[in-house]
């Protein structure tokens, strides 16, 4: 099994979201007894030219983008992978700009639009290279106390792109708490459910509903989180004064 992680956080190696993604991927690897191969691509390090909107990939060059940068190589890796994980923070209720640039360039992997409508389980375009066995997972963390409401715009966008039910969302609130050294013990326990989700993804090809329901529960009760985040920002201000 090949797993491709597309890290869409500009914070790369210190990404909060990657803590969740790593737990999920660890679960897959553990369940596969180490036979799963994992490759991570940091989108911010890739040469990705913005889509020029020429639509050649839908006409003249059929499925091929005319821009020659890192995209053709990433597309090849996507084609060869069994599980594709997009890992990214929520930015202004959507995906970060670098990931949007990447997503726009994926147009060549979508079918030409010929007036079709999105039905349940299908997207507006449909995939050019559909595969029943390929799994697409989005892992995202955000700064707010809860995932309710704030993820609605992003999920609506992915529903339109992939089709409802054609991807697995894993959403995590209180992202800022995930890498605080003093909270490590608590966070390690909190991350266990994402590892369980990974084990299930390997075993059943999906996350069972009871686990899925637990995934977006926050690491801390709202009141505790409020105290933590207030302390974080006052410490930040203090650190500037002490320089
Ligand atoms: C430009 C920018 C916009 C953001 N917008 C939101 C937002 O709309 N909602 C939210 O809850 N958090 C928002 N955040 C916070 C990040 O989503 C959060 O800190 C996340 O855990 C960062 O993950 P990363 O370390 O993987 O990049 C924003 C952060 C930045 C830098």
CB 226 within 8 Å of CB 56 = no
| Mean pLDDT in residue range 187-205 | 98
Query: Cβ-count burial of 51 within 10 angstroms (0-12 exposed, 13-18 middle, 19+ buried)?
Result: buried
Q: What confidence score (pLDDT) does residue 242 get? A: 73
44 CB within 6 A, ligand 1: no
Q: Residue ranges of the alpha helices (H) in the chain?
A: 16-31, 71-80, 97-104, 152-162, 184-204, 209-215, 222-241
Q: Give the residue, 238 or 207, on which the prediction is more confident.
A: 207
The Cα 46–Cα 233 span in angstroms is 32
Distance (angstroms) between ligand 1 centre and the Cα of 14 equals 13
144 CB within 6 A, ligand 1: yes
Atom of ligand 1 nearest to the CA of 88: 26
The band of 31, judged by pLDDT with boundaries at 50, 70 and 90, is: very high
Lowest mean pLDDT among 17-31, 85-99, 107-121: 107-121
Query: pLDDT by residue (tens digit) across 40-70?
Result: 999 999 999 999 999 999 999 999 999 999 9
pTM given for the model: 0.96
> What 3-state class would DSSP assign to 42?
strand
| Mean pLDDT in residue range 212-240 | 95
Residue 101 has pLDDT above 90, yes or no: yes
| Mean pLDDT in residue range 223-233 | 96
Q: Give the start-to-end residue ranges of the domains of the chain.
A: 2-241
Which residue has its alpha carbon closest to ligand 1 atom 22? 89
Q: Which of 8, 96, 142, 176 to mutate to test the pocket of ligand 1 (most atoms within 8 A of CB)?
A: 142
Which residue has its alpha carbon closest to ligand 1 atom 19? 143
143 CB within 6 A, ligand 1: yes
| Mean pLDDT in residue range 206-212 | 97
The band of 241, judged by pLDDT with boundaries at 50, 70 and 90, is: confident
Q: What confidence score (pLDDT) does residue 21 get? A: 98
Q: Give the residue, 241 or 122, on which the prediction is more confident.
A: 241
Q: What confidence score (pLDDT) does residue 121 get? A: 67
CATH architecture designation of domain 2-241: 3-Layer(aba) Sandwich (3.40)
Query: How many CB atoms neighbour CB 135 within 10 A?
Result: 20
The Cα 210–Cα 168 span in angstroms is 14
Nearest to 229 by CA among 169, 168, 145, 171: 145
Distance (angstroms) between ligand 1 centre and the Cα of 90 equals 5
The band of 14, judged by pLDDT with boundaries at 50, 70 and 90, is: very high
The Cα 211–Cα 144 span in angstroms is 22
93 CB within 6 A, ligand 1: yes
Q: What confidence score (pLDDT) does residue 15 get? A: 98
91 CB within 6 A, ligand 1: yes
The Cα 211–Cα 112 span in angstroms is 36
Query: pLDDT by residue (tens digit) across 114-126?
Result: 887 766 667 778 8
Q: What confidence score (pLDDT) does residue 218 get? A: 98
The Cα 160–Cα 122 span in angstroms is 8
Q: Which of 91, 139, 173, 183 to mutate to test the pocket of ligand 1 (most atoms within 8 A of CB)?
A: 91
150 CB within 6 A, ligand 1: yes
Which residue has its alpha carbon closest to ligand 1 atom 3? 91
Share of the chain above pLDDT 70, in %: 98
Q: Is beta strand 2-7 parallel, antiparallel or unpaired with respect to 83-89?
A: parallel
The Cα 229–Cα 232 span in angstroms is 5
């Amino acid at each position: 099994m090949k797993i491709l992680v597309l890290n869409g956080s500009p914070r790369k190696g210190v990404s909060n979201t990657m803590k969740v993604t790593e737990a999920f991927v660890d679960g897959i690897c553990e369940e596969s007894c180490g036979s799963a191969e994992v490759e991570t691509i940091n989108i911010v390090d890739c040469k990705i030219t913005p889509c020029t909107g020429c639509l050649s990939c839908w006409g003249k060059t059929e499925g091929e983008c005319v821009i020659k940068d890192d995209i053709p190589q990433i597309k090849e890796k996507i084609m060869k992978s069994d599980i594709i994980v997009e890992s990214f923070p929520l930015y202004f209720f959507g995906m970060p700009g670098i990931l949007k640039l990447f997503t726009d360039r994926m147009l060549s992997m979508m079918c030409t639009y010929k007036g079709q409508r999105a039905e349940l389980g299908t997207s507006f375009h449909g995939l050019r290279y559909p595969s029943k066995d390929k799994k697409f997972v989005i892992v995202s963390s955000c700064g707010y106390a809860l995932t309710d409401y704030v993820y609605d715009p992003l999920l609506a966008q992915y529903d339109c792109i992939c089709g409802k039910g054609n991807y697995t969302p894993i959403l995590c609130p209180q992202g800022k708490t995930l890498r605080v050294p003093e909270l490590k013990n608590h966070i390690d326990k909190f991350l266990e459910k994402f590892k369980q989700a990974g084990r299930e993804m390997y075993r059943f090809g999906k996350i069972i509903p009871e686990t899925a329901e637990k995934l977006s529960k926050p690491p801390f009760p709202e009141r505790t989180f409020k105290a933590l985040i207030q302390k974080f920002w006052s410490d930040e201000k203090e650190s500037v004064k002490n320089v």
